[in-house]
Each structure stands twice: as structure tokens, then as C-alpha cells.
Amino acid sequence: MEKKIELHLQGLTSSQIQSGAYALVLMEENGKRHIPIVVGTAEAQSIAIALEGVSTPRPLTHDLIVSMANKLELKLKQIFIYKFEDGVFFSELWFIKGSETIKIDSRTSDAIAVALRMKAPIFTTKKIIEECGVDLDEEPQEETAPKESSDEKGVQTFIFGEPEELTDEHEMNLWISQHETEELREHLQKAINEENYELAKKFQDEIDRRESEKNKK
């Protein structure tokens, strides 16, 4: 059997390939190659929630899977991304019950969302690394901080209204930059209560960025 290579989750970002989707970036252990995997909005939200440790008012589908596995005394040994075909990654969840290993086919995004919750490692094959891995060290880093809240003439632009009403990414960044951290915390909690996890992640990312900048001073 081909030797497996462990992957580590590096982050989640907006997809540059597919509008309205996100890219999950995995990196090979002891290497420089990354594997970007395009995932849908719902899966991206679920993965972001697991990464941020955000609690939700009601369990999401992946939380339900974890609860069922725990009740049935199934331990998640690993997830295995075993095939890449026609632009699609194929994965399995490897559960252990006693001395038996139970393999369940899964979409890769769902498998990773479950693995994050159950603290299980992610593996793939050397062939997939060679076919799909890219070295991102030389790529320019995508700007994640909000853009300056002014137009080309240097006139400050204020964005009014509620963030839920904004559909333009630039306007959303401007809106966030014009609000204090405590206000963002209030909107974060509101977004979580309304199960708007994509918006909640935007608030959480900005709060984390500000806290990190404060700690550097």
C-alpha cells in the first residue's frame, strides 16, 4: 500500500477560481507543497466555526455526526483523501470500533469538518501531492486587512446600514473598519444567534486581527 502523507490545515480563504466558493488550504507535513480544495459556503462556514471554536445555538450537521459517533463509541482514526479525479477529491472517514476499522466514503469538505471536531489527522497519497500540490511560498500574500476607508481622492467614505444588507466585499470591509471592537463583538454575537456564520467569521477575523496588532505594541 502506498505510503500516506499527513496534511495540516493552513487556512480558509475566498476562492480565486470559483465565485461564491472558498478554498481550503492543506499543507504536507515536512514539506512546502499545499493542496487547495474548493468548498461550498455551508461547508466553509462549518469548518470556520470549528477552527474558531465558536459555539452555535443548535448543532450543525457535522456536530450531529460527531454526537452520533460518540454515542456509538466510534473513534475517528483519520480521514484519508485517497483519489483525485475530474477535479474532485475523494475521501474516507476511518472509524474504529473495538478491533474493527469502518471506512465511510465522504465529501472531502465534510470529512475535514468532522475531523476538526474529533481532533483526527488528515492523510493523502504521494501521488495526489505530486499531482495537486503547489508551492505557495513565492505567491504574493492576499491582503486580509480591511481596505482604507477613503476613495481615490482621499475623501473618507462612510458606509451606513446593517452589515447583513451589504453584498459588496469592499463596502463590508469599509463598514467593519468604521466600527469599534466592542461593536463588532455585539454584531458577532447577533450573527451567531441568527446562524449567519459567514458574517460571524468576518467579525471574528477582524477582532482577532486587532487583538494581534494590540499585543505587538
In tens, the pLDDT along 173-192 reads 767 876 788 888 888 888 88
pTM: 0.62
Tell me the C-alpha to C-alpha distance, in Å, between residue 153 and each of 76, 84, 148, 168.
56, 49, 12, 21
Is 34 strand, coil or helix?
A: strand
- Checking 168-176 for CB contacts under 8 A at 24+ apart, the result is 172/202, 173/146, 173/147, 174/146, 174/147, 174/149, 176/146, 176/202, 176/203, 176/206
End-to-end CA distance of the chain: 51
Sorted by where each begins, the domain ranges of the chain are: 4-135, 163-216
Alpha-carbon span 107 to 181, nearest angstrom = 37
Q: Measure the CA–CA gap between 106 and 80, rounded to whole angstroms.
A: 10
Task: Give me the sign of the Cα torsion angle 172, 174, 175, 181.
Answer: positive
Question: What sign does the dihedral 145-151-155-161 (CA atoms) show?
Answer: negative
The answer for residues whose C-beta is within 8 angstroms of residue 167's C-beta and 6 or more apart is none
Check whether 150 has a pLDDT greater than 50.
no
CA distances in angstroms from 48 to 26, 53, 85, listed in the order given = 14, 8, 26
Alpha-helical segments (H) within 5-149: 41-52, 61-71, 108-118, 126-132
What's the topology of domain 4-135? Bifunctional nuclease domain (3.10.690)
**Residue 170 grid cell:** 469592499
pLDDT in tens, 42-100: 888 888 888 877 777 788 899 999 999 999 999 999 999 999 988 889 999 999 999 99
Q: How do residues 88-138 score in pLDDT, each as one tens digit? A: 899 999 999 999 999 999 999 999 999 999 999 999 999 999 888 887 655
How many C-beta atoms surround the C-beta of residue 40 within 10 A?
Answer: 15
Cα dist from 100 to 1, 76, 94, 191, whole Å? 19, 12, 10, 42
